[in-house]
Amino acid sequence: ELDMIIDHFEIELEPGNADGPKEPVFYRDSAGTLCMRLTPFVQLRVPRGHSKTTLANTKILHAILEGQFRFPVYLSESANHAEKQLDFSKNELTTNAKIQQVWGQMKPVTGTGIWRQDEIELNNGTYCVAQGRGAQIRGKNFRSQRPDMILLDDVEDKESVKTEEQREKARD
Separation CA 141–CA 126 (nearest Å): 12
Nearest Cα to Cα of residue 81 among 155, 17, 19 = 155
- Tell whether pTM > 0.85: no
Spell out the residues 6+ positions from residue 109 whose beta carbon is closer than 8 angstroms to its own: none
Q: pLDDT at residue 144 above 70? A: yes
Cβ neighbors of 128 (< 8 A, separation 6 or more) are 64, 71, 72, 73, 74, 86, 89, 119, 120, 121, 122
Q: pLDDT digits over 68-112, tens only?
A: 889 999 888 889 989 998 999 999 999 999 999 999 999 998 878
The reported pLDDT for the residue numbered 2 is 56
pLDDT at residue 96, rounded to an integer: 92
Quote the percentage of the chain above a pLDDT of 70: 75
HSE-CB for 42 with a 13 A CA cutoff: 23
